[in-house]
Amino acid sequence: MLCEENILAQRLAVKNDSFTLINNLKDRYALSLAEAESLDKEIRGFFNDSSYLEDGQEFYTAIHISEPAGKPLKICNSKRIILTLRCKQDLKIRAKDGIKALYKVIISRICWQALQQETLLTQEDIAFLLYVSRASVKRLLAELKKEDQYIPTRGNYHDIGPGTSHKYEALKMYIKGMEPSDIAMRLGHALNSIERYIDDFSLVVSAAQEDYSSVAIARFTGLSEKLVKEYLILFDRYSLDDKLKPFLDDLIADFKNRKLLKKTQNNSERINP
């Protein structure tokens, strides 16, 4: 069964516009694979607007985030958004962990993408988009909750407290061992955004350890005071875990070393122009 899934993943991986364009660039213009991939990425950048859809993306109309839970849907304001229902990395997850794990990843991704576009999906929306029953969606959401993964849906978003932003969730996943690329896929974010969240978190914690207040940290980092406090709450929460504390200590120490190295290099350049 696993072998069949791997074969399926390999076959489906070549059925997309990006793969076709890269192959054409290599064959027709004698470009290397790296050159073709770079050009493909640059070309797609020109179409980065609301009317362009990547492979696996769909337009969908969802309820606006300002509408409270319980309000009749027919009188709620809605908004057209873009959701990523399929991407190349999904094939690897299906081959490695099976369809159930893939459904969880897709649910996480589309719910966070909806939130980023100021809308919220309902269980009915998710069931419709994934062609599964609402009962199945309910079970998957319950399992995600047990796994300590918060999923913003219309049914629970307005009940959440602080420490539930997408940045908070991204850092929580990273601290618990998930790779940045996997986090980006689950939250529907760019990889460089996830990496920036990690650096911001490290900067906030480092500054707090030097006795800067949250107000001062917010001022010199440009982050909101609310986010600074979220990051400090997150650090305090997981630094109490004996299994995770060494990772956090190493993360902050590595950040301080990189910061010191950069400062030393800058000073050297000023002395030796």
d(CA 147, CA 205): 25
Phi and psi (nearest 5°) for 150?
-85, 130
Residue 235: pLDDT band by 50, 70, 90 thresholds?
very high
74-96 tens-digit pLDDT: 788 888 899 999 988 888 889 98
Domain residue ranges in the chain: 17-48, 161-273
Instruction: State the distance between the two ends of the chain, measured CA to CA, in whole angstroms.
Output: 62
192-231 tens-digit pLDDT: 889 999 999 999 999 999 999 999 999 988 989 988 998 9
Going across the sheet that includes 57-64, the strands are 78-84, 57-64, 119-120
**pLDDT the model gives residue 15:** 56
Tell me if the pTM is above 0.85: no
What is each CA distance from 117 to 60, 64, 114, in whole angstroms? 11, 9, 5
Q: Residue 236: which of 218, 258, 214, 254 has the closest Cα?
A: 214
Burial class (CB in 10 A: 0-12, 13-18, 19+), 39: middle
d(CA 44, CA 24): 15
Residue 189: pLDDT band by 50, 70, 90 thresholds?
confident
